[in-house]
């Protein structure tokens, strides 16, 4: 371990004493990018941090809390000035994720970020991880420089799009041969196959597509019914069908992290450029019956016609996050 003294240098995160300082560091480093979910995570970290040594009572070193918060900090004269979090991906278990890479501004450019990353990679190698991945804004030049120097390669981007106010859009008639209809339970398997064809392999490696994601559970139906009864927006699931095959899906769900709605659009490669805007207009029409917005979307860069359709309907790009991976 690259340890200079007990008060300066690198050491593993100690959740029972570091959480408050790590939360402060993350908040100052990512101030522009934190959404409701990010602030909720910081609140949770601070609350856990206040437990101090009692945190061990929550479950000991092998518990979820401790695994979630594993990684390294960098100290200067006893103060935490750098952090990296290293977690095992939920599935498959030989892939790892690096996050919360941050160095306090006065200490940047001295090699601390690189040393933290090297320690994280070493840790994953020690646990027999097969690869390590992370997400970074595509305009974050210092971070991209460090990651590329350490052998990370860009896989694909996720464009974060936002529409603050929905103006009721006209619905376009579907193209000849394309039918738009509600998603039925019997569509689950074909929807899964559509997603497998539509999502780039590199993205599926990081987030494997599973059939269960396309099943609408009784709980979801009940939740939608209750939302409707309470005058709040229920989910919408529509499919586009051509030649009796699913070629597109659009879903709209309430998104607590933005107090608005989240639209997800999936289009088969053969139908790209043909159905995106039609599906999105239906989705915005649904939202406009219940609220004025905001509406957000997270759309992959490997489907540029999808990004263009969102933008043509008034969405603006907030940021683009690039997934990078290094195989070990």
Ligand X SMILES: CC(C)(COP(=O)(O)OP(=O)(O)OC[C@H]1O[C@@H](n2cnc3c(N)ncnc32)[C@H](O)[C@@H]1OP(=O)(O)O)[C@@H](O)C(=O)NCCC(=O)NCCS
Give me the residues that bind ligand X (CB under 6 A), please: 29, 101-103, 108-114, 136, 140-143, 145-146, 149
CA dist 248 → 265, 266, 295 (Å): 8, 6, 20
Residue whose Cβ sits closest to ligand X = 113
Cis, bond preceding 92 (omega within 30 deg of 0): yes
Q: Which is nearer to ligand X, 15 or 113 (CB)?
A: 113
How many CB atoms lie under 10 A from the CB of residue 179? 11
CB of 95 to ligand X, least distance (A): 17
**Cβ proximity of 275 and 240 under 8 Å:** yes
CB of 5 to ligand X, least distance (A): 19
CB of 84 to ligand X, least distance (A): 8
Q: Which is nearer to ligand X, 102 or 132 (CB)?
A: 102
CB of 198 to ligand X, least distance (A): 27
Q: Please give the full DSSP string across 41-73, using - where no structure is assigned.
A: HHHHHHHHHHTGGGGGGGT-TTSHHHHHT-EEE
Q: Which is nearer to ligand X, 146 or 240 (CB)?
A: 146
How far apart (Å, rounded) are the C-alpha atoms in residues 53 and 62?
15
Q: Which is nearer to ligand X, 140 or 291 (CB)?
A: 140
Long-range contacts of 42-49 (CB under 8 A, 24+ apart): 45/19, 45/20, 45/69, 46/19, 46/20, 48/15, 48/19, 49/15, 49/17, 49/18, 49/19, 49/20, 49/23
Longest dimension (CA), the chain: 71
Q: Which is nearer to ligand X, 52 or 142 (CB)?
A: 142
Q: Which is nearer to ligand X, 77 or 219 (CB)?
A: 77
CB of 183 to ligand X, least distance (A): 35
CB of 146 to ligand X, least distance (A): 5
How far apart (Å, rounded) are the C-alpha atoms in residues 74 and 81?
6
CB of 135 to ligand X, least distance (A): 7
Q: Which is nearer to ligand X, 250 or 324 (CB)?
A: 324
Q: Please give the full DSSP string across 213-237, using - where no structure is assigned.
A: GG---HHHHHHHHHHHHTT-PPPEE
């Amino acid at each position: 371990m690259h340890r200079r003294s007990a008060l300066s240098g690198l050491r593993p995160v100690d959740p029972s004493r570091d959480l408050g300082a790590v939360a402060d560091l993350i908040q100052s480093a990512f101030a522009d990018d934190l959404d409701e979910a990010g602030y909720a995570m910081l609140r949770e970290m601070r609350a856990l941090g206040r437990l101090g040594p009692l945190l061990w009572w929550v479950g000991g070193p092998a518990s979820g809390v401790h695994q979630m918060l594993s990684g390294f900090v960098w100290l200067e004269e006893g103060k935490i000035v750098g952090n990296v979090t290293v977690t095992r991906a939920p599935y498959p278990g030989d892939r790892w994720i690096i996050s919360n890479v941050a160095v306090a501004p006065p200490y940047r450019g001295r090699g601390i970020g690189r040393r933290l990353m090297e320690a994280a990679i070493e840790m994953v190698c020690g646990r027999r991880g097969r690869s390590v991945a992370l997400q970074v804004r595509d305009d974050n030049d210092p971070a991209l420089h460090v990651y590329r120097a350490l052998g990370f390669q860009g896989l694909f981007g996720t464009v974060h799009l936002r529409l603050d106010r929905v103006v009721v859009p006209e619905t376009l008639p579907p193209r000849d041969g394309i039918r738009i209809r509600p998603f039925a339970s019997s569509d689950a398997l074909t929807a899964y196959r559509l997603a497998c064809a539509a999502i780039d392999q590199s993205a599926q490696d990081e987030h494997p597509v599973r059939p269960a994601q396309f099943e609408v559970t009784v709980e979801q139906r009940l939740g939608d019914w209750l939302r409707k009864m309470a005058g709040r927006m229920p989910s919408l699931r529509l499919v586009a069908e051509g030649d009796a095959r699913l070629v597109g899906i659009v879903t709209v769900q309430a998104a607590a992290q933005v107090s608005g709605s989240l639209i997800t659009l999936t289009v088969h490669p053969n139908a790209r450029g043909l159905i995106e805007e039609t599906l999105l207009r239906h989705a915005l029409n649904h939202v406009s019956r219940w609220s004025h917005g905001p509406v957000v979307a997270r759309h992959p860069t490997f489907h540029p016609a999808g990004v263009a359709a969102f933008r043509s309907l008034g969405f603006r790009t907030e940021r683009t996050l690039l997934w990078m991976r290094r195989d070990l």
